[in-house]
Amino acid sequence: MVLPTIYSVSVSHTYTNRYDKLITNVSKANRLNQMVKIQISDEVWDIVAGKINFSEGKQYEIISNIRAGIEEISASTVLLKNRQYLEVSSRALSTLEKYVDHLGNQIQNSAPVAENEIILEEVRGVASLIYDILQTFIVAEIESTAKTNETIKTSYALLTIIQIIITVIVIGIAIFTLTSVSEKIRKPIIQLEQLSSQIAEGNLEARAVKPFVEELDNLTLNLNSMAEKIKELIDENIREQQNFQKAQMKALQAQITPHFLYNTFDTIIWLAESMKTDEVIKITKAFSNFFRISLSKGREWLTVEQEIEHIKSYLTIQKIRYRDILDYSISFDEELKDYKVLKLILQPLVENAIYHGIKNKRGRGILNVNLKKEENRLHFSVSDNGIGMTEEKLNIIYNELNSKSNTENLKTVYGLFSVQKRLELYYNENIKLLIESEYGNGTVVSFKVPAEKEDV
């Protein structure tokens, strides 16, 4: 009789939280709609009308606030269909931001007012589209709220019936037990009680012997079957959680790509305009090779040779972009080229060294990628002579790397977190990144993984 009560409280808590999230999402989406409908258009109009300078406008701040709001709502949205509305609105917001960028370029180049007004109309059109999508999301969430409310009513009615039925059954069993229990039944019951206690304590390998009592045979078989099913479900849940975390890491890894893609295309365009044909060919080949290895037909494992080739392509591109501030070297024993390694674990570390180390110091930066074998492990290291970190900053980074919170809360260690988490998941070991840094003297990031050769 206690279990339905506990279940009732659990169901009530679950649906109340869901109901609260739905109402909160609707409220937040309404506020975002007001920002999209009024603030964006007004701000861009003031710029086009000459009331404020483009650099003084708050258009990017408004767009950033809207994007943050959409991401916050998406994180608490349960239904996939409703999240898809938010994903579409987020992509539309990116389009709106491109139009604002274009307007800024036109104003900077003193374009005619008529051309600026055309961009203004495009901004208004995209803002209207975002508004309509968010309205559709609001309607969908309201419908989900209504369904949740009906589910709550149905659950309470069902629980009431179950409580009544259980009460009747318990009374009947009590009367039957008082009048007909015997020693022959008592012992098997004790055995079953011991089995249930063992299962409750976590011993899912425990089983009961069939008592050959008609009333208890099925119960014994069901308890044994339940223990087996629970064990299978726990194992399946662990596998699903691991797969889910792997999927999160893939999504996190994908977030690193776009800005590199845009910057590389900009560099190719600049080189082409400068008639530097040889460098255009060189960077294009490196770019093609970089993404060929990145995709690698969906495989998660590469040879060391392929991983090094991937880094060479990446650094070739960066060397062309930052020729005046970047030199690099890659060293590894050719005998290690056929060992297998989790793909794309070096690129985030190299990228981190360039953008957070070398770019923040004066003078030419030097980046070294090194691989060597120590006993039965491969030792990878990425070092730079960049700005380095203070001990306080290093402690902050270690705390974020070891954080159990949502990855959206990470501020500066997306790439490092991605590498460490993927290493832990795929190697099934407690592999940690080792970071050594001194302010003004650069940084070294290293890790070790089991040395295994690629299957032939």
Strand runs (DSSP E) across 172-323, as ranges?
A: 301-303
Q: What is the pLDDT of residues 168-184, one digit of tens each?
A: 888 888 887 777 666 66
Long-range contacts of 38-45 (CB under 8 A, 24+ apart): 40/66, 40/96, 40/123, 40/127, 41/123, 41/124, 41/127, 44/100, 44/103, 44/120, 44/123, 44/124, 45/120
Please state, in angstroms and rounded to a whole number, the distance separating the CA atoms of residues 295 and 373.
27
Task: Print burial letters for 73-85: b (CB count within 10 Å at least 16), e (below 16).
Answer: bbeebeeeebbeb
pLDDT tens digits for 29-81? 888 888 887 888 888 888 887 788 888 888 888 888 888 888 888 888 878 88
Nearest one of 384, 363, 378 to 315, comparing CA atoms: 384
Nearest CA to 426 out of 205, 250, 226 is that of: 250
Q: Are 413 and 355 in contact (CB under 8 A)?
A: no
Q: What is the pLDDT of residue 227?
A: 79
Show the low-confidence residues of the chain (pLDDT under 70): 1, 4-5, 7-8, 11, 15, 180-184, 212, 215, 240, 242-258, 404-412, 455-456
Domains of the chain as residue ranges with CATH: 2-163 (1.20.120.1730), 192-247 (no CATH), 255-453 (3.30.565.10)
Distances (CA, A) of 149 to 18, 19, 43: 10, 8, 40
pLDDT at 353: 92
**DSSP one-letter string for 307-350:** HHHHHHHHHHHHHHHTTTTEEEEEEE-GGGTTEEEETTSSHHHH
pLDDT value of residue 456: 41
- Looking at residue 390, what is its pLDDT? 92
3-state secondary structure of 374: strand
pLDDT for 4 equals 66
